Amino acid sequence: MQGMVAVWRRSGGTVYLLKPMTYMNRSGLSVRALASFYRIDPSDMLVVHDELEFVPGVARLKRGGGHGGHNGLRDITAHLSGDFLRLRLGIGRPVQRERVASYVLERAPLAERQVLDEAIERSLSVLSWVLEGDVQRAMNSLNAI
């Protein structure tokens, strides 16, 4: 199994939520499989990922761009053709650069989990605009905070 999928049928269409079950640096396999099976264009996708360059609690929407060293994004972009929307959730960067791999896999301290939960709530508050196709409005609202 490459991923777990939830299907949400709504009046504006169907939403597929994918949780890849591959290693993070191979998540492109499950994203491509979902896209191929359901015939989803990358421009209609929203990929949610952690962002080392943002402090915990920051959430930003962005279309396209490079992988920035993120192995999961690197693999997804290698398996898809076209730009997808990204929800970047800040997790901060460890003081010691050599600890990045273990840092992203560790459970965040309680204080950081609370601000991450708040960032997720803010992101969910603009999701309806994304689903309605008003991505610019969602970006303007979420990215202004």
| Residues whose CB falls within 8 Å of the CB of residue 6, separated by 6 or more in sequence, listed in order | 16, 17
Task: Measure the CA–CA gap between 94 and 69, rounded to whole angstroms.
Answer: 15
Q: What is the pTM of this model?
A: 0.89
> pLDDT, tens digit, for every residue of 7-43?
999 998 899 999 999 988 899 999 999 999 999 999 9
Nearest Cα neighbor of 45 from 88, 15, 6 is 15
**What does each C-alpha distance from 55 to 13, 34, 60, 61, 82 come to in angstroms?**
34, 31, 11, 15, 28
The structure tokens listed for 30 are 């499950």
- Tell me the residue range of the domain where 97 lies: 3-143
The structure tokens listed for 130 are 């994304």
The structure tokens listed for 51 are 């962002």
Residue 3, pLDDT > 70, answer yes
Residue 1, pLDDT > 70, answer no
Q: Is the dihedral of CA 99, 105, 111, 116 positive or negative?
A: positive
14-23, 64-73, 94-103, range with greatest mean pLDDT: 14-23
Whole-number pLDDT of residue 102: 85
CATH code where residue 133 lies: 3.40.50.1470
| Residue pair 82/45 in contact by the 8 Å Cβ criterion | no
> pLDDT, tens digit, for every residue of 104-141?
888 988 989 999 999 999 999 999 999 999 999 999 99
Residue 103, pLDDT > 90, answer no
**Total domains, the chain:** 1
